[in-house]
Amino acid sequence: MSLIAELRISGEPFALSRALGAAPGMRAETEYSVSAPAGPVVFVWVWGGEFEAFESVLPEDPTVQEFERIEDAGDRRLYEMVLDDTPDLIDPGVLHRRTSASQLRMVTGANYAVVTERLPDHESLATYIARCRDHGYEVELLRAYPAADDHGQYDLSAKQVAALDAALEAGYFETPRGTDLGTLAEEFGISEQALSERLRRGVAAVLESTVGELDDRERARDL
């Protein structure tokens, strides 16, 4: 069975690191990438910082050969970029072909990226990590779960899933509520405060994975 893996990759050189570093808070999400003779071609959405500062440094960024703004959505801008074709910079197209990986998401900051990949198996994941490290990058596996695991994509623990399911079934989230926190806490044999925290973290995990922006904070998964 295939699996979904979320990894944090950091180090130098890193695509767009100088330009992103010039605009504090700026992040970039790769929408599409393809290998090309001149270098990897990527289409990137950028947001969260000063666009003028970002664009002013792009010509000086050693990882970028060419760039063109494709769309301006106000708080987000889309660019087409040709990245530098150097042995030290990972070509995402080559990396994916050699590991049979399919990129689901990639959010980049200065000198790091958090990537979500679909891979055939754990052996392919190990190869993916090894190839990144061979290029001198640090790799942290944040989480990995079977592609068929509907809950894994939200970074929910088994206890959080059980609590949310019981609360939903009992009408806890309805107006008026069909049950109260004390009744649910008794069902799980824990305090109201512990159950409240478990529900809060579960809801936060779902929101972050659906409507929220990806961040690098570790979420407690054992509550």
Please give the average per-residue pLDDT across 163-187, as a whole number.
86
DSSP of 157-173:
-HHHHHHHHHHHHTTTT
DSSP of 3-50:
EEEEEEEE-SS-TTHHHHHTSTT-EEEEEEEE--TTS-EEEEEEESS-
Which pair of structure tokens corresponds to residue 59? Answer: 């010509």
Global pTM exceeds 0.75: no
Separation between Cα atoms, residue 77 and residue 71, nearest integer Å? 6
Asked whether the predicted pLDDT for residue 43 surpasses 50, the reply is yes
149 pLDDT tier (thresholds 50, 70, 90): low
151 pLDDT tier (thresholds 50, 70, 90): low
